[in-house]
Amino acid sequence: MELGWPALLFRSYIILYLCLSLLKMKKIILFELNEVPQKIVEYYCKCRPNSTLARIRNSTKKFETYTENKGHLSPWNTWPTLHRGVTNQQHYIADFNQDLTEVDKEYPPIWKILTEAGVKVGMFGSLHSYPMPKSLENYEFYVPDVFASGKECFPKNVEIFQDFNLKLSRESARNVERKIPFGDAIKLLINVPELGFKLDTIADTGAQLIKERIKPWQKVRRRTYQTILSFDVFYKLLEKTKPGFVTFFTNHVASSMHRYWGACFPNEYETVQFEDEWLDTFENEILFTMDKADKMIGRLCKFTDKNPDYLLLVTSSMGQNAFESQPTETQLYITNKDAFMKMLGLGKGSYEFMPAMYPQFNVQVEESGISKFRDHLNTFTINGNKAEYREHANGFFSVDLGHPNLTSAEISVNGQEISIDQSGLENVEIQDKSGTTAYHIPEGICFAYHPSFNENGTQTTISSAEICPMLLNNFNVKVPDYMPKTNYNLAEA
């Protein structure tokens, strides 16, 4: 049957519209540079004028972001805001490993929305990405964050690396552990070609281990080398599968800023309480971590240049700024978890420890013990002050510890004094004496790079919750009604 001219015209219009839509749409690499503010990017470009960031800064679409979250800001509540397009007053995500079943139904993360819309996704390390999805349809790869309770990954061969990565993260949460899990390291070396580690990464990592012998303080850089190894694994997966939407999360610069902002910017404090030797030792640590981030961004820019159907989006969910503090000699941590739980009324078998970022302690309590554990927590004091905790659904508790520089620790539960030896707590000596010299602020960064972009000196201010609908617009996926409305399309930047 022949079509009349109106039908032919309409069909031609539809085809033209779809073609134009595809031209506007780009595949997206979302590089999640945790907690880095505009100040650090500008400082780095000034110090490193030949860096990738300095080279591309005037040919990117730039945003200054701010999080609209209320109350205490942390990456575990600001990244869900960016990923889901709603603030913490709606998603209520406050701690790692809390049950997100209902939240995921009501306010799903960007990777879930896109896969359900048929977009191929690769996810690597984004926060709150564990457990693995029940269905891996439309996922090219899926590697959960370092607070995952298990090593499960897709593809399965990455589990060798993830197991190694999780062990390093657990053992170096506050102080970097000197020992290396050599059995796991050997497994990694055997699988170097399959996992994608570059020769210069292996050489650089080996050099780092040698430098630690000469200058023991450089052990703090191991956190950065975990990210470097992770990036190689990620990049191999990216090159091999080329998904439509990809994420990669790194915390290595944020970790350095928290500890060493005071050494990098001592003039930002009313009183500098750190000794000159400490300032001289750590003054370049933020630059060191940014050098490694810049190298990763440089590789992704080159990838985008070779694959112009991609666009690189570098973002943080908030930032950091100077925070008055003093050297931290010790912090109060749980070093015997079972003794700690016994002090709070529960015996073995009635709870399960869950990964957390120090100084938090997360535990899943069986239903029969919830009331008893809560009652004990409500009477738990340290030097007369009640310990802070949060209770989530289904017996999940998060306890805040990390009290600094205690000369003594008088511990009490139900009015009974308990010796520190029996409590499971210990005043742990902090190896680099770093306090929290920088802390969270609402303002973050977001910039988009593509080889076709012209010089653009303007900078737009947006809520971090607008990034999710912006991404959905790029993929021509309907933006849910609960998200902020935005007409901006990244490919038009």
Place of tokens 């007409």: 487
3-class DSSP state of 62: strand
What is the separation of C-alpha 115 from the centre of its chain, rounded to a whole number of angstroms? Answer: 21
pLDDT at 183 over 70: no
Confidence of residue 432 (pLDDT cuts 50, 70, 90): confident
More confident residue, 98 or 435: 98
Average pLDDT of the chain to the nearest whole number: 89
CA angle 258, 226, 92 (to 5 degrees): 55
More confident residue, 116 or 359: 116
Given CA atoms 293, 296, 300, 440 in this order, what sign does their dihedral have?
Answer: negative
Confidence of residue 15 (pLDDT cuts 50, 70, 90): very low
- 219: burial class by Cβ within 10 Å (0-12, 13-18, 19+)? buried
pLDDT at 176 over 80: no
pTM for this prediction:
0.87
Average pLDDT over residues 233-250: 98
Residues in the chain: 493
* CB count in 10 Å sphere of residue 354: 19
For position 457, what pLDDT does the model report?
Answer: 61
DSSP structural state of residue 155: S
- Among 25-39, 237-251, 417-431, whose mean pLDDT is lowest? 417-431
Confidence of residue 256 (pLDDT cuts 50, 70, 90): very high
Q: What is the DSSP string of 397-425?
A: EEEE---BS-S---EEETTEEE-HHHHTE
For position 186, what pLDDT does the model report?
Answer: 67
For position 378, what pLDDT does the model report?
Answer: 96
Strands 27-33 and 438-441: unpaired
Place of tokens 């978890």: 337
Q: Are 262 and 269 in contact (CB under 8 A)?
A: yes
Average pLDDT over residues 411-424: 93
For position 12, what pLDDT does the model report?
Answer: 46
- Cα 243 from Cα 246, distance rounded (Å): 6
> Helices 159-171 & 222-241, crossing angle to 10 degrees?
160
pLDDT at 173 over 80: no
pLDDT at 204 over 60: yes
pLDDT at 31 over 60: yes
pLDDT at 170 over 80: no
- Among 124-133, 209-218, 372-381, whose mean pLDDT is lowest? 209-218
For position 376, what pLDDT does the model report?
Answer: 96
Q: Which two tokens stand for residue 270?
A: 């009313």
pLDDT at 172 over 50: no
pLDDT at 188 over 50: yes
- Cα 220 from Cα 212, distance rounded (Å): 9
- Beta carbons within 8 Å of 225's beta carbon, 6+ residues apart: 204, 205, 208
Confidence of residue 2 (pLDDT cuts 50, 70, 90): low
Among 30, 2, 21, 4, which residue's Cα sits nearest to residue 304? Answer: 30
- Cα 295 from Cα 423, distance rounded (Å): 45
Sequence spans of domains, the chain: 25-325+439-492, 330-429
- Over pLDDT 90: what percentage of the chain? 67
Q: Does domain 25-325+439-492 bear CATH number 3.40.720.10? A: yes
Amino acid identity for residue 85 in this structure: G
Average pLDDT over residues 249-268: 95
- Beta carbons within 8 Å of 493's beta carbon, 6+ residues apart: 61, 448, 450, 453, 456
Given CA atoms 361, 364, 368, 374 in this order, what sign does their dihedral have?
Answer: positive
What is the separation of C-alpha 92 from the centre of its chain, rounded to a whole number of angstroms? Answer: 18
Q: Are 141 and 155 in contact (CB under 8 A)?
A: yes
For position 236, what pLDDT does the model report?
Answer: 97
Beta bridge partners of residue 390, listed in sequence order: 398
Place of tokens 């593809």: 155
Q: Are 249 and 124 in contact (CB under 8 A)?
A: yes
pLDDT at 221 over 60: yes
CA distances, 468 to each of 112, 464, 474, 477 (Å): 12, 8, 10, 11
Confidence of residue 19 (pLDDT cuts 50, 70, 90): very low
Average pLDDT over residues 101-126: 97
Burial 222-250 (b: 16+ CB within 10 A, else e): bbbbbbbbbbbbbbbbbeeebbbbbbbbb
Q: Which two tokens stand for residue 352?
A: 């399960």
Amino acid identity for residue 28 in this structure: I
Average pLDDT over residues 137-142: 98
- Cα 315 from Cα 403, distance rounded (Å): 32
- Among 93-107, 184-198, 261-275, 354-368, whose mean pLDDT is lowest? 184-198
Q: Are 85 and 103 in contact (CB under 8 A)?
A: no
pLDDT at 381 over 50: yes
